Each structure stands twice: as C-alpha cells, then as structure tokens.
Structure 1
Amino acid sequence: MKKAFKFRDIDCAQCAQKIEDAAAKIEGVNKVRINFLSERMTLDADDARFDEIIAEIKKVAKTIEPDAVLEA
C-alpha cells in the first residue's frame, strides 16, 4: 500500500533524513521518502502490517526529533 502523510515540526533536513533512514529499516517498508520542505512523507509498505509500521515510524521519529508529528 502506498500513502502520503503530513509530517510536521521536523527541525532540519538532516533530521528528516535520519528519520527516513531509520524508517526504511523497518520490516515491511518497501520505500519511504520524507520531504523536509513540504513536510510530507510518502510510504510504500506491506498492507498487512501498515498500521503497525506507522506506529513504529512514529516511535522512531520521536527518538530522533521529539517535536516531530506524523499525522496518520
């Protein structure tokens, strides 16, 4: 399944890249892209685990950028 989400309050492009790299390592993620300027994340992931993957990305994002908010 491929979906786009709003990803607010990431402080810098480097933080966005760190979150993207960490999210790409999550089992079931086929492709993920975070655009810092537009504050959007595009995620292509396994349908069966999609909600679980979103929860894991939120958790990882908070460890890298505590103010980041993924609107899913």
Structure 2
Amino acid sequence: MIKKFRLEGLDCANCASKIENAIRKVEIIDSVTVDFMAAKLVIEAEESEIEEAIEISKGIIKKLEPEIVVKKR
C-alpha cells in the first residue's frame, strides 16, 4: 500500500535526504521517497503495517526536523 504526504516546512535538500535515509532503515517499510522540490513523502508498506510505518516515519521526521509538519495529501 502506498501513502503520500505533504511535508510543510521542508526547506533544504540535505534535510530531505537525511529523512529519506533514516526512514529507509525501517524494516517494515518497503520503499520511501522524499521529494524536496515537491515537499512530498511517499511511503510503501504492506497494508497490515502501513499505519505503523506512517507513525514510525512521523516520529523520525519529528526527531530529525521538528519544524516539519506532515499532512495527508
């Protein structure tokens, strides 16, 4: 299952890369893309694990870049 989010406050490409690399290490996440130019996060995980994957991803983002607000697209 694929879920897309808007990352309000994402203002540097290095931050986007840092977030993507951290989320990529989460075992239940099949794939992740952080698009700096579009300020977009795309997460793919099994349907049964997608909610947990989203919460873990939000936690990672909050820890790395507390000013970023994750919103559903």
The two structures have a TM-score, normalised by structure 2, of 0.89
Alignment-derived partner of residue 9 in structure 2? 9
How far, CA to CA, are the matches of 1:36 and 1:68 in structure 2? 12
Q: Retained in 1: the 8 A contact 2:43–2:54?
A: no
How far 1:52 sits from its partner (Å)? Answer: 1.0
Moved over 3 A (4+): none
Alignment-derived partner of residue 23 in structure 2? 23
Deviation string, structure 1 residues 11-51 (Cα, Å, up to 9, x no partner): 21101111101111112111100101111111111211111
Matched residues, percent identical? 33
In structure 2, list runs of 5 or more residues that go unmatched: none
State the AA in 1 paired with 2:9.
D
State the AA in 2 paired with 1:50.
I
The residue matched to 1:70 in structure 2 has which SS? strand
The residue matched to 2:43 in structure 1 has which SS? strand
How far 1:4 sits from its partner (Å)? Answer: 1.6
Alignment-derived partner of residue 50 in structure 2? 50
In structure 1, list runs of 5 or more residues that go unmatched: none
Q: Aligned-residue CA RMSD in angstroms?
A: 1.1
The two structures have a TM-score, normalised by structure 1, of 0.90
Q: Retained in 1: the 8 A contact 2:6–2:71?
A: yes
